[in-house]
Amino acid sequence: MLGTVEKKFSLQAADRKVEMARSSAIEWSTLSRRTIVFRCLAAVAATLAASIKEAAAKATQAAASYQDTPKDVQRCDNCSLFQPPNSCLLVEGTISPSGWCKFWIKKTS
């Protein structure tokens, strides 16, 4: 059986829980639909920006098995990813026109 003091504390705790639930509900109801949509879009945009930045990172020369000599007729200057005079869209660092890596793609034009 609870004493008077214990009952009082128990009721006060229950009142605090009810008040917290009410204020939380009020907080949510005061957020407009537009605010919620904007916050969601901002979160999605931040996630996409991080993904794009990560995707834009180039591969290391070691990861691409880059070599500064051609492999048969395959060479950087006939690869569609080569960027004259000495860089590549996919592989980082200085790229020799006569180099090669495992991502070689035949230039179409």
By CB under 6 A, name the one of 70, 76, 106, 109 that touches ligand SF4: 76
By CB under 6 A, name the one of 66, 69, 73, 94 that touches ligand SF4: 66
**Interface segment toward ligand SF4; rule CB under 6 A; list 2-10, 40-48, 50-58, 73-81:** 73-81
103 scored as a contact of ligand SF4 (CB under 6 A): yes
Binding mask 8-47 for ligand SF4 (x = CB under 6 A): ----------------------------------------
SS3 sequence, the chain? Answer: CCCHHHHHHHHHHHHHHHHHHHHHHHHHHHCCHHHHHHHHHHHHHHHHHHHHHHHHCCECCCCCCCECCCECCECHHHECCEECCCEECCECCCCCCCCECCCCCECCC
Closest separation between CB of residue 85 and ligand SF4, Å?
Answer: 12
- Separation between Cα atoms, residue 75 and residue 58, nearest integer Å: 19
Footprint of ligand SF4 (CB under 6 A): 64, 66, 76, 79, 81-82, 88, 90-91, 95, 99-101, 103-104
